[in-house]
Structure 1
Amino acid sequence: MKKKNIGEASLPILWSVIKAYVDGKVGAAGSVFDTFEAVRTVFNADRSITETNEKGETLVTVFNADGSITKTFTNVDGVTIALKTVFNADGSIEEVFV
């Protein structure tokens, strides 16, 4: 995946998502992941899922070989936020930004 530097205009959005998570006001990934509404969904040959919303932003879900799930949100400026969900043997779930 090609990474793009975060522009100054995108920083407030990124920080608001992280702050909301830290403050416990939203789910682990904040509103970016929880309220994403796709208008187009594609099931890819590699078994990942690509969803696109009306703004042209994407949410790609990858089912990793280790059983974890990685969701990567990319906005129209190319700024990405990724969240990995790990299902532990003890039944607990970890969600970490990657």
Structure 2
Amino acid sequence: MSEESGGVVVYWRPMCPYCVRLLTQLLFTRLKFTKVNIWKHPDAAAFVRSVADGNETVPTVTVAGRPMVNPSKGELLEAVRAYAPHLLSRATEGG
């Protein structure tokens, strides 16, 4: 996934209330991100396990390739400001 190196990727799975919360909050920003369903992509599930102590904890998000396990919207936007500020040029920065 090319977005991993410089963008935001949200790893999620169906019926995850934490995923629904974060994805819903992100709808109110203009931040562009890629969603990856770990139940449909075994490599993505393996990646999540590799950064979440062997668990499939979602949402797991990468910002410019840096993983974050179950971040809040504020934590995610803070990481974008630090590691991929070009993504916020049109996004809402409120956290």
Q: Give me the TM-score of the superposition, normalised by structure 1.
A: 0.24
Structure with the higher helix share, 1 or 2: 2
Structure with the higher strand share, 1 or 2: 1
Between structure 1 and structure 2, the one with the greater Rg is 1
Q: Considering Cα pairs closer than 8 Å and 6+ residues apart, tell me whether 1 or 2 has the greater RCO.
A: 2
